[in-house]
Every structure is written in structure tokens, then in C-alpha cells.
């Protein structure tokens, strides 16, 4: 059986969901914009479901190249708005480049989804039950496969903007502790794709007036009912073995890349912001990424300030600074104790390309030399364990962009982190959505790992997040302030930490397998027609 490139109906007579191409473009555009509405800062999380639906409706049953174009429209409308904060200091070129790469992934997988639904929808037209199950799983698998690959490549990927991240404040977010980010995202997309697959398979029966309640109508609303029921699932709870009283400091320092500041300004800002709590009884003091713009290992004046503060408070300080080792530079978090200096260190595993290091410097310098020359230091990816001993506790550490790394989260849990410290510097993005998008990732990461996250920023948004995702002690951005909380210390692993990685791989493989099957059937038919007929 063949499928004409211009047909508006599948061979079984069921209409394609959107027959007019200009409507498909409009749906893809609106879907991408609505996906951003579901994300922070607006955080209208229910909007993610119609957003996914509009994008999938635009793709369903199209040719590969039509799906690629529509995927590009949906991807561009989402990514160019979602990361518009990148233009604040760096201008339009990095923003266009990153949004363009992410749009390209959206386009390629849009083509794959369109092609898969078209071909498998035709091949399985005589097996309606198999058809809607296979199509819905393949579509959801391809969506998550795109998120997985774009979050890993190129240059370490950009694991931002995943659909699961819209659910940080949603009752559905608790599923992250059971399924992980990818598993939660798969459930969300599958619920939508299953609804669309049922509609596209049984639309004629669903639209009949009598009887009112039919199996097909039940099947149509079953995914939505399933999502509602899943909202009642609580997050997985781990054993609490005590608390750590942690103080976090937001210094409101002028720490942006192009800030006109003097050496030591950031260190002094965080020292001054700490003074109001200097006599508080705490176990640990946490300063953000780049809080000390002078490395206390190399600058005695910085060491004296940290020594005096640590001695007066009687606690170690976790402080962010830039360290040097031979000719290599690291974005580091140090544990500093008076009289001892550095007792533990973690180096950021994911320096940000085109900001903290310049990949393929010669190539990009030939294109945009002025922009490339702004990146002076080449930060080296860290190799130290993300779990540090501090104040008698085991603290996981994720510096800024590290918080998006699923593998790093698993490593922290496997190596015994009792809570997670997430020092960051959001000063380069001003009062944009970037900091709250990052905070949402930290919030869902707390649920996924079952561990409290202390998110401390130079300028905000700083907050203490409990293992169930509840936000505590959230500070107002761009104010010098502090937060103190008895953070629960937990042991063990959530189901997401045990099987989330395997689940992400499995659902991605299902998507790839569906696409491979869609490629196989036309090829098999082609070679069958070309083979000589015996007669």
C-alpha cells in the first residue's frame, strides 16, 4: 500500500488532524509560544498540555520535510522566546546561535514524528488498536529522544526547556521522584499523543450521536483522567537522619561579565551581607558562585577575611571563586575553615561554552572576532567528586549550569550526598526569566533526588527547597539578604535515581524504533517492486 505525498486522508478514511498547511504552521507557532507560557516566569503549567497538542497536531501525518519545516516553526517560537535573556549582555549572536541549534533539533525530530505517524498510520490502518498504541508511544519516545540528544550534544548540550521542567510547581511534579525528568516528560507527551492517536483512529465513531457513552469516547478521555489521577501520587520520601542548619547569603554583588567593578568588590559585598547573621547559631555558611572574586589560595587579603568570618561564626564556609592549577583555571566551590584554609573543593563540571570557554576558538574567531575575544579565560571542566565533606555532613554540589546534569545528580546520590548546594551567579541575566527557570530546575531536581537543595545566587533567585519541592526562605532578587533553615539530611535513593537513566534510554529507543520501522516499510515496498517477478 502506498501513500500519496499530497493526500489529505489516510487510507482508512480517517482524516488527518490538520489538512490545511497554513493552519498547521499557525498551530506550530502557537504551540511553541504556549510552551513558553507554561515555563517560568509565567509558570502556567497546565498550558503545557495544549502546547504539546498544538505542536503534534501540526505534525501528525505530514511528510518528513513538511514536518521538518513545522518543527522548525514550533521550535523557533519556543526557543527564541524562552532564552531571550541571553541577549541582555551578550547580544543577539549567541542567542541566535543557541536558539538556532535547539530549533534545528526541533525541526529534525519534527520531521521524524511527522514521517512516523504518516507511514505507521498507513501500515497499521487495519489494526486500529495497535495503531493508536504504537503511534502514541513512538511520538512520545521521539519527543524525549530529542530532549535527550539536544541535552548532550554539541559541546555538552543544553538540557534546558524540557517539558518536565514546566511541572516544578505542579502536583504532577512529584512523579519526578519516581520516573526522573525524562520519565515525567514521556508521561506528559504520551498522554497528549495517545489522545490524538485515538481521535485520529476513531474520529468517525466518536462523532456519532448514539449511544452517548462508547468505548472510543472513554478511550479519548482516558489519558486526561490518567494524568489527573497521577497528580495524586505523592513524591517518594527518603529517610531523614537529622538536619543541618544552613545559612545562605545573597550579596547582591555586581558580578556580571562586563560589570565595572574593582577586585574584591564581590567578596566585600558578601562579607557585608553576612554581618547581620554573624552571631547566628548555624552549622554551615554558603556563599554563591563567584562570591569571592579573589582566590583565597592566592590572595592573602581574601584568606584573612574568610578566616575571620569562619572563626567568629565557628563554622566552615562554602565559597565560590576562580582557582588556578598550573595553566588551568576552574570555577570552584571551596570549603574554607579558619586555620586550615581549603579542606574540600569541587570544580564545575560544565563550564558554559561561549561564556566560560570558547570551543573551536580559531573557527569562531574568524566569524565574530570581537565576541570571541571577550572570552579571555578558558575554564577547564572539573574532575573532582561532586560530594564534599563539610561540617561533618556530606554535601552534593552543583555549580550553576551543573544543576541540569542528570548524571551528576545520580553521582551525588550514589556517593552519599545528604543535601545539595547549588551556588550560582545569575548577574549576567539581570531581571529576566533565566534565574527563575534555573530555580525551577533546582526545584524539580530536589523532588527527583529526594534531597533538599540550597540554591544561593549572587543576585537571586535564592531559595531553600525541601525534598518534596516546597520552597522555603525564598529571597527577593537584587537585594542583599540571608536565609537560614534547618535542612533535612537524607539517605538512600528515590526510584528515579535507581531506574530513571534506564527509563530515559528505553523510551528514547522506543521512539527511534518507531522511526526506523517507518523507514523500513517504504524501503521494503520499493525493493519488492524492483525485484524481478517470477512467473
pTM for this model (two decimals): 0.92
Q: Are 47 and 37 in contact (CB under 8 A)?
A: yes
**Residue 355: predicted pLDDT:** 66
Any alpha helices (H) in 419-477, and if so which ranges?
Answer: 434-449
Q: Say what the alpha-carbon torsion angle 525, 526, 531, 533 is, to the nearest 10 degrees.
A: 50
Find the radius of gyration of the CA atoms of the chain: 26
**Cα 492 from Cα 495, distance rounded (Å):** 10
- What is the bridge-based pairing of β-strands 419-424 and 453-457? parallel
Low-confidence ranges of the chain (pLDDT < 50): 1-15, 535
The three-state DSSP-derived secondary structure of 214-280 is CHHHHHHHHHHHHHHHHCCCCCCCCEEEEEEEEEEEECCCCCCCCCCCCCCHHHHHHHHHHHHHCCC
- How many CB atoms lie under 10 A from the CB of residue 407? 10
Give the H or E element holding residue 142: helix 128-150
- How many Cα atoms occupy the beta-carbon half-sphere of 506 within 13 Å? 9
**Residue 327: predicted pLDDT:** 86
**Residue 254: predicted pLDDT:** 83
Q: Are 452 and 491 in contact (CB under 8 A)?
A: no
| b/e per residue 504-531 (b: at least 16 CB within 10 A) | beebbebbebbbebbeebeeeeeeeeee
DSSP character at residue 466 = -
**Cα 274 from Cα 284, distance rounded (Å):** 12
**Cα 450 from Cα 469, distance rounded (Å):** 9
**Residue 358: predicted pLDDT:** 64
Three-state DSSP state, 70:
helix
Q: Are 72 and 101 in contact (CB under 8 A)?
A: no
Q: Which has the closest alpha carbon to 363: 158, 154, 159, 79?
A: 154
- Helices vs. strands in the chain: H and E counts, helices first: 15, 12
Note the residue count of the chain.
Answer: 535
**Cα 281 from Cα 242, distance rounded (Å):** 16
Amino acid at each position: 500500500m502506498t501513500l500519496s505525498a499530497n493526500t489529505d486522508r489516510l487510507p482508512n478514511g480517517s482524516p488527518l488532524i490538520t489538512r490545511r498547511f497554513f493552519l498547521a504552521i499557525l498551530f506550530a507557532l502557537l504551540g511553541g509560544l504556549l510552551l513558553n507560557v507554561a515555563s517560568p516566569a509565567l509558570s502556567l503549567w497546565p498550558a503545557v498540555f495544549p502546547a504539546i497538542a498544538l505542536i503534534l497536531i501540526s505534525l501528525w501525518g505530514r511528510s518528513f520535510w513538511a514536518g521538518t519545516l513545522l518543527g522548525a516553526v514550533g521550535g523557533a517560537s519556543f526557543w527564541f522566546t524562552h532564552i531571550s535573556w541571553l541577549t541582555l549582555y551578550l547580544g543577539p549572536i549567541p542567542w541566535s546561535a543557541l536558539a538556532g541549534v535547539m530549533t534545528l533539533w526541533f525541526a529534525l525530530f519534527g520531521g521524524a514524528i511527522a514521517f512516523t505517524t504518516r507511514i505507521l498510520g498507513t501500515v497499521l490502518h487495519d489494526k486500529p488498536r495497535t495503531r493508536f498504541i504504537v503511534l502514541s508511544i513512538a511520538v512520545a519516545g521521539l519527543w524525549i529522544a530529542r530532549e535527550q540528544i539536544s541535552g548532550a550534544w554539541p559541546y555538552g548540550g543544553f538540557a534546558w526547556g524540557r517539558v518536565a521542567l514546566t511541572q516544578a510547581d505542579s502536583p504532577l511534579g512529584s512523579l519526578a521522584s519516581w520516573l526522573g525528568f525524562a520519565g515525567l516528560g514521556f508521561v506528559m507527551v504520551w498522554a497528549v499523543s495517545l489522545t490524538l492517536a485515538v481521535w485520529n483512529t476513531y474520529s468517525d465513531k466518536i462523532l456519532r450521536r448514539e449511544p452517548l457513552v462508547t468505548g472510543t469516547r472513554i478511550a479519548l478521555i482516558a489519558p486526561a483522567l490518567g494524568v489527573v489521577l497521577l497528580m495524586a501520587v505523592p513524591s517518594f520520601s527518603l529517610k531523614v537522619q537529622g538536619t543541618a542548619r544552613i545559612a545562605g547569603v545573597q550579596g547582591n554583588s555586581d558580578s556580571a561579565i562586563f560589570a565595572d567593578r574593582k577586585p574584591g568588590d564581590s567578596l566585600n559585598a558578601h562579607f557585608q551581607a553576612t554581618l547581620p547573621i554573624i552571631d547566628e547559631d548555624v552549622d554551615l555558611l554558603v556563599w554563591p558562585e563567584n562570591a569571592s572574586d579573589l582566590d583565597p589560595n592566592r590572595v592573602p587579603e581574601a584568606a584573612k577575611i574568610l578566616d575571620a568570618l569562619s572563626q567568629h561564626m565557628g563554622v566552615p564556609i562554602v565559597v565560590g571563586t576562580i582557582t588556578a592549577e598550573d595553566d588551568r583555571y576552574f570555577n570552584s566551590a571551596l570549603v574554607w575553615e579558619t586555620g586550615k584554609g581549603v579542606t574540600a573543593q569541587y570544580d564545575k563540571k560544565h563550564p558554559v561554552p561561549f561564556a566560560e570557554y570558547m570551543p573551536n576558538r580559531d573557527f569562531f574567531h574568524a566569524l565574530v572576532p570581537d565576541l570571541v575575544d571577550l572570552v579571555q579565560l578558558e575554564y577547564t571542566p572539573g574532575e573532582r567528586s561532586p560530594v564534599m565533606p563539610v561540617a561533618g555532613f556530606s554535601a552534593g554540589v552543583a555549580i550553576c549550569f551543573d544543576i541540569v546534569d542528570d548524571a551528576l545528580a545520580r553521582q551525588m546520590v550514589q556517593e552519599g550526598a545528604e543535601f545539595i548546594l547549588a551556588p550560582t551567579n545569575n548577574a549576567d541575566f539581570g531581571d529576566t526569566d533565566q534565574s527563575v527557570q534555573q530555580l525551577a530546575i533546582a526545584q524539580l531536581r530536589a523532588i527527583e533526588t529526594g534531597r533538599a537543595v540550597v540554591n544561593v545566587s549572587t543576585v537571586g533567585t535564592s531559595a531553600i527547597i525541601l525534598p518534596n519541592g516546597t520552597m522555603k526562605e525564598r529571597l527577593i532578587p537584587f537585594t542583599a539578604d540571608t536565609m537560614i533553615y534547618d535542612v533535612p539530611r537524607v539517605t538512600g535513593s528515590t526510584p528515579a535515581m535507581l531506574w530513571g537513566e534506564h527509563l530515559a534510554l528505553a523510551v528514547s529507543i522506543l521512539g527511534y524504533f518507531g522511526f526506523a520501522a517507518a523507514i523500513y516499510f517504504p524501503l521494503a515496498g520499493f525493493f519488492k517492486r524492483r525485484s524481478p517477478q517470477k512467473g
